[in-house]
Amino acid sequence: MHLLSFSRRKALWLFCSPLAFSVAHAATTAKPHHTTHRAHVVPRTSAPGVTPVAAPVASVPHAAVRRTSTQRAAHAAESEQIIATGRHSRSEQTVGHIQMQRTLPGINPIKSLQILPGVVFNNADPWGNNEQNSSLVIHGFNQNQLGYTLDGIPLGDQSYGNYNGLSPQRAAISENFASASVATGAGALGTASTSNLGGTLQFTTQDPLHRAGGQLSQTFGSWSTFRTFARIDTGDFGNGNSAYVSWGRQDARAWDFAGHQGGNQVNAKFVHEDSKNKVSVFFDWSEKVEPNEDGIVMPNGGSLYVRPFMYPNLNEAVNYYKNSQAYTSAGLNYRNYYSAAQRQDYLMYASWQHEFSKNLKWDTKIYYHHDIGEGVVAGPITAAGLPTLFSSYFPNQSSSQLSDVFGGSGMATRTTEYWDNRGGIMSNLTYHLGQHTIELGGWYERNNNTQARRWYPFDINNPTTPYERQQNALINQYTNYFYTNTWTTHLQDSWKISKNFSLNAGFKSELVYTNGTLPVAGLPGSLSPKTAITVPGGTIAAVRPFLPSFGALWNITQHEQWFANIQENMRSFQAAGYGNATPWGVTSQAAFEDFKRHGKPETSWTYETGFRTNRHLDAGPLTNISGQLEYYHVHFSNRLLAVASTQTLSSIVGSATTLTNVGSVSTDGMDFSFTAQFGQHFSFYNALSYNKSTYNDNYLNGSTVVHTAGKNVAGVPNWTEKFVASTHWGNFDAQFIGDVVGKRYTTFTNDLHASAYALFSLNAGYNITGIPHVRSLRVQGNITNLTNEKGWSTLNTNNASGQYTAFPIAPRMYFLTLTASF
């Protein structure tokens, strides 16, 4: 089934059952055209050098797919989807490659999903790449309570300083993504994740093109943006073989300080495809440095909107810390000299899909990921809590003596250092038996990760920069080692009861065993408060052998469809130590042992139902309408919170926490999205969402009752509105995009809030053909934050003390991209 342009396609709408989707699911990690979705469609011309998304019938043999690739690309060149809606018993929507790059070339694929209903993504840079100030909320769950995969390979839970994965933008170059999908309620049972309480985000990379060629893209823009992307495709060679290699480099100055964000990345992919097999091998290398935006501690931040660091002006920093009253009066909003996230990743996988017969299919993947990361902050040795920390390691030292110990600058450098080695295998069998489709699968991963806190001198005569790794630590404060074995299995039966009605039922088993050790413990008195310690730890298991799922799908007519889904999920404990919401972050071995005996992992029950339609109309200018209306209810149990022992110290030191089960959360909401098509040249996509997430319980902070029962979940807006107005005339296309986010409470007790904001952007492009030796040349312009809106993007809401941290919205920026395909 092709996605035909509206001027040519028929009104008939062929629905795909969940059975067909389960068979085709593995293929969605391959060719962009192997996607069993139907779309809100907007006509446009294909981006040069890239095969856009199309949607054949799931059962087309691989050989036939290759034979028809030219015809498929021709169809796809005439139309491109803004949003593709999956036809499953759960809600799932997809943004395709071209829409990603139209939104902004080089975009983080998670940010491209913010036009979807129920998705709230925030970041202080226009691409969404800075991980330290990134946040994502979907149906009341934050980014660490969702699941993420790339071509089916697990990406972990997206914690900053990720202990079990990496961000999508580090896993593949933006221009190589084929699609990004989000299941806003419950993901597929076979999703390789142990954190997907509130849904899953699945990303697919493009396969090599069948013709030889290349692509070269160059972006220029505000704040010295300079982004380069180059790709070479071999085309078909041998018997069903094809490959590509690509390189991306980005350098852009941060908009409010003199730090340059970006780095280099390399991708390579090989595919062999024949009538019975598809073998894919993918490689990613990424080395990035992102100097960080410091947030404003509110409400005592007053009129502050930005908090820039002072690098590379060393004299300004030294004078600021020694002499200026601005430093001492700034409180928690003092300025650091610099801070940055340094990350290097290697990711590799091999995938084999084999068709034993038309009724029996097998899909197996093996993968390996290695990460070396460092979060670094250079700032004053007199910041809140630091004199106490340093006195534990250098007793009886005066302030001036400590300054000499740390290099005579009045500054020290703190690092959080990460090391991660993980690998795994996943395998799925799908068997068609009459009207049943049975899927059996499993996933195993071994993850070894380290997190260490260290302090380094900052030599006034040999100052370091945000772009280099620290050497020769003065203080190795503490180090945690974690060893995690993850086992999951799933079994599902999809039963096509009649031509128009299907049921599916299954379950997932999740067994996660983590052993946390402490080879280096913090000295007594070096933590906050002085009585806190880092604990030796031990092994804790998060085990749920039966997590059920039930779904139904009813094709009411050729054009309308009803769906429903019920599913339970569990989130395993994070493998992190001191200061985190984990068993290994508590501050006594007795507390650890007590949690091991009585603690429970977070779980959720998700209930969702909805209605879809897609109709050709003859109503004057309106020629087609398609959309989805969904209602959902979620019960989230055993919510774990790291309750800080002290609330006033800066995060440069951190604070001891008590891991507390603060009860449950109830969520009710609705999502409504539609696309209206007006002939061949205009379309309007709109997504309106309502969410009501509330805490059901109060909890204790020491002996104090924190009254959160009945309060709105912090950081979750009740209302969001998104739209995309598109036009297409021959080789010209343009879009006007809006993202409106309502008021968000910033504390658990709802005594403070961040105001609503509205962000708008424009993009326009033109494809030039007829140039000798160039297949096409595309010129595209983008304007982000069109109205130069000021407000708060990401909110750090993990406290109930009348205090929170907020990051600013990036100002209006301009970009120009030239893309040539050969």
Q: What is the pLDDT of residue 326?
A: 79
The angle at the Cα of 201, spanning 199 to 203, to the nearest 5 degrees, equals 160
CA-to-CA dists, residue 23 to 359, 507, 683, angstroms: 10, 17, 32
Nearest to 436 by CA among 491, 355, 356, 490: 491
Q: What is the 3-state secondary structure (H, E, C) of 3-15?
A: CCCCCCCCCCCCC
Q: What is the pLDDT of residue 651?
A: 60
Q: Could you tell me if 209 and 196 are in contact, meaning their C-beta atoms sit under 8 angstroms apart?
A: no
Nearest to 547 by CA among 586, 517, 511: 511
Q: If you average pLDDT over residues 441-454, what whole number do you get? A: 97
Listed in sequence order, the residues at least 6 apart from 377 whose beta carbon sits closer than 8 Å to its beta carbon are 336, 338, 339, 413, 414, 415, 652
Beta-bridge mates of residue 371: 345, 420
Give 16's pLDDT tier (boundaries 50, 70, 90). very low
Give 382's pLDDT tier (boundaries 50, 70, 90). confident
Q: If you average pLDDT over residues 711-716, what whole number do you get? A: 96
Q: Could you tell me if 308 and 283 are in contact, meaning their C-beta atoms sit under 8 angstroms apart?
A: no
Region for 595 from its dihedrals, namely left if φ exceeds 0, alpha if ψ lies in -120 to 50, beta otherwise: alpha
Q: If you average pLDDT over residues 601-620, what whole number do you get? A: 95
Q: If you average pLDDT over residues 795-809, what whole number do you get? A: 85
Q: What is the pLDDT of residue 324?
A: 77
Q: What is the pLDDT of residue 251?
A: 97
Question: Quick check: pTM over 0.75?
Answer: yes
- As a whole-number percent, the residues of the chain with pLDDT over 90 amount to 76
Over the chain, what is the mean pLDDT? 88
DSSP strands (E only) in 147-199: 147-150, 153-154, 177-183
Q: If you average pLDDT over residues 160-183, what whole number do you get? A: 95
Cα–Cα distance for residue pair 291/286, rounded to 1 Å: 16
pLDDT at 171 over 60: yes
pLDDT digits (tens, 9 = 90+) for 462-490: 999 999 999 999 999 999 999 999 999 99
Give 388's pLDDT tier (boundaries 50, 70, 90). confident
Q: If you average pLDDT over residues 76-90, what whole number do you get? A: 69
Nearest to 81 by CA among 69, 93, 72: 93
Rg (CA), the chain: 26
End-to-end Cα spacing for the chain: 29
Lowest-confidence segment of 4-13, 199-208, 250-259 by average pLDDT: 4-13
Give the CATH H-level superfamily of domain 18-821: TonB-dependent receptor, beta-barrel domain (2.40.170.20)
Lowest-confidence segment of 53-57, 407-411, 664-668, 732-736 by average pLDDT: 53-57
pLDDT digits (tens, 9 = 90+) for 276-301: 999 999 999 999 999 998 899 998 88
Q: If you average pLDDT over residues 746-775, what whole number do you get? A: 95
CA-to-CA dists, residue 130 to 127, 145, 289, 290, 754, angstroms: 8, 19, 9, 6, 21
- As a whole-number percent, the residues of the chain with pLDDT over 70 amount to 89
Ordered strands of the 37-42 beta sheet: 37-42, 80-86, 93-96, 177-183, 200-205, 147-150, 153-154
Q: If you average pLDDT over residues 199-214, what whole number do you get? A: 96
Give 656's pLDDT tier (boundaries 50, 70, 90). confident
Tokens of 194: 């142990």
Lowest-confidence segment of 77-81, 208-212, 789-793 by average pLDDT: 77-81
pLDDT digits (tens, 9 = 90+) for 555-595: 999 999 999 999 999 999 999 988 888 999 988 899 999 99
Give the CA dihedral 87, 92, 97, 100, nearest 10 degrees. Answer: 140
Instruction: Between 389 and 249, name the one with better pLDDT.
Output: 249
Q: Tell me the domain boundaries of the chain.
A: 18-821
Q: What is the pLDDT of residue 81?
A: 65
Nearest to 23 by CA among 353, 501, 489: 353
Lowest-confidence segment of 170-179, 619-628, 654-663, 685-694 by average pLDDT: 654-663
Instruction: Between 6 and 491, name the one with better pLDDT.
Output: 491
Give 647's pLDDT tier (boundaries 50, 70, 90). low
pLDDT at 42 over 50: no
Nearest to 744 by CA among 768, 714, 783: 714
